Chains A and B, each alone.
Chain A
């Protein structure tokens, strides 16, 4: 039973395309997050949602738009993809500050 799942695991696309990454958690948590891990392994938060409400919005280009249809899902839409968007994107969820549970990651490659 996967706690936090992401699809797809790999995503290869051309510059300028629009793509989405989906995330689902079955833990009943209220808060979900998106993180970006760059080629140097640096992890940085992008967004967080609490019960479908945007809580954290770091300095992320507005080509990135999170969407939370319900508290179990947080999807990431990326418009007009650029080479610099290539990274691994992690979804996570938590109920409180105790622990964030991470998904397996989506490796995005922009050609």
Chain B
């Protein structure tokens, strides 16, 4: 069964600083990977996804993620964070057979001025 690990429960970053959120996955085949963001009191919005091809994927709001098969990782990055990026971030992997989406436990991002 697939699984996703987000080792950082909470990260605090200064506004304008760079950001990297870690994600490690476990899946038997080539994974379909996603990053979702959940702002306080809101639903989940897709930031970006990886299916195949270029291992560096660009998403919305200036985010990007890099798929590294050798490390089973799919880390999310942003070169300069904005106060509006404060939210909960979830990494997820989907099972091909039943389209079951398995989420990591999430990383809460706090932005300080």
Contacts and interface: CB of A to CB of B under 8 A. Distances in A.
Contact of B100 (A40, A41, A43, A48): A48
Given A99-B34, A103-B43, A42 B106 contact: yes
Interface in B40-79: 42-46, 49, 51
Contacts of A44: 103
Given A56-B98, A98-B49, A90 B43 contact: yes
Interface string A96-107: 111111111100
Interface residues of B, number: 24
Given A42-B106, A48-B100, A99 B44 contact: no
B84 to A, nearest CB: 18
Contacts of A41: 38, 88, 105-106, 108
B98 A102 contact: no
Contact of A100 (B96, B101, B105, B106): B101
Chain A residues touching B, majority SS: strand
Contacts of B98: 48, 55-56
B42 A104 contact: yes
A98 B21 CA distance: 22
Contacts of A55: 98-99
A10 B94 CA distance: 29
Contacts of A98: 49, 51
Given A48-B99, A99-B46, 17 more contacts: A40-B105, A41-B108, A43-B103, A45-B101, A48-B98, A55-B98, A55-B99, A56-B98, A90-B43, A92-B44, A97-B94, A97-B96, A100-B101, A102-B43, A102-B44, A102-B45, A104-B43
